[in-house]
Amino acid sequence: MKIHCLGVICVTAAGFFFDISATEWCICLILFGLILGLELVNTAVEAVVDLVTEEKKPLAKLAKDTAAGAVLIAAIMAAFAGVIIFLPKAAQLFVG
């Protein structure tokens, strides 16, 4: 969660620096909410699985891995969206 919050701060700073459009802000905000929300769901799933069983069970591992995978997929897609939004703006700094 700390890493995701740091990402939110960095993307917000980049958004102000590059003066992104209202639509781009909306995309970033939706992705912030999606990733942070999924991280909370992942934490909840892990807590419930730990509450239910202390022994190693394949289904418990599957539940934890699947929840973590959902966060990972959302983060990867958010990174792609970030590249689409910020790369052209960053390239303009170097090209002129």
The question of whether 46 is a catalytic residue gets the answer no
- Per the structure block, which two tokens stand in for 16? 């102000």
Q: Which of 39, 46, 54, 55 is catalytic?
A: 39
Round to whole Å and give the CA distance between 74 and 72. 5
SS3 assignment, position 33: helix
Round to whole Å and give the CA distance between 11 and 59. 36
Q: Which residues are catalytically annotated?
A: 39
